[in-house]
Structure 1
Amino acid sequence: MGTMYYGGSAMPIRIADRALAHLKVVVATKLRRSESFTVSWQHADDEPPGRSTLWVHPSIALRFVFEDPQPPQLNRAWIEELAKSANATGGIALGAEDLG
């Protein structure tokens, strides 16, 4: 399970390593272009039920921490799906990887 730290918050956002690796690619691309967007996800099973949304902005510090030292092989279709949603009004809705 990976973690993402956003802004000055010491509270980590826990996201599976594989999903976090794909999210990182899309987030880095958007921020490199100085584009803001939202990212939403459902809370992990061991957290209180619910979902969260972040407004991601290039001026706010962001750190990705991965449990696995080896990066996964990335699924181009999933990256493209996340990138497309990042450009939509609703922003990125991080869900399960579509392997089909």
Structure 2
Amino acid sequence: MGTIYYGGSATPIHIDDRALAHLKVVISTKLRRGESFTVSWRHPDGEPRGRSTIWLHPSIPMRFVFDDPEPAELSRAWIEDLAQSANSSGGIQLVAEQIDTNGTADDAPQTVEVSD
């Protein structure tokens, strides 16, 4: 389980390592461009039921902490799904990864450009 520390909040945000790796790519791209936006997610198992939303701004410090010392292999399709939601009026919706079950590997480069 990965963790986001945002601003001066003493409350860590727990997100699965794999999901956090994908979210980090999209968040970093948006913040690097100086864009503010929201991120919403459902609370993970073991926490009170519900969902949360935070407002992200480039001037507020953020730290991503991963439990797994090895970086996750990134899914281009999942990053594109998150990036598409990032550019909507509702902000990033942390959606589940859609697994391709037809047996074909995703051999595309793992660099994804987030459109404006």
TM-score, length basis structure 1: 0.97
State the identity as a percent: 71
1:28 maps to a residue whose letter is S
The unaligned stretches of length 5 or more in structure 1 are none
How many pairs align?
100
Give the structure, 1 or 2, with the largest relative contact order (CA under 8 Å, sep 6 or more).
1
Query: RMSD across aligned C-alpha pairs, in angstroms?
Result: 0.6
CA deviation string 1:14-48 (max 9, x = no partner): 00000000000000000000001110000111111
What are the ranges of 5 or more consecutive residues in structure 2 without an aligned counterpart? 101-116
- Give 1:75-90 correspondences, 5 Å limit: 75-90=75-90
Give secondary structure in 1 for the equivalent of 2:4: strand
In our comparison, the structure showing a higher alpha carbon Rg is 2
Residue 39, structure 1, aligned to residue 39, structure 2: yes
**Partner residue in 1 for 2:110:** none
Partner of 1:53: 53
The letter of the residue matching 2:93 is A
Contact kept in structure 1, 2:22 and 2:79, CA below 8 Å: yes
Moved over 4 A (4+): none
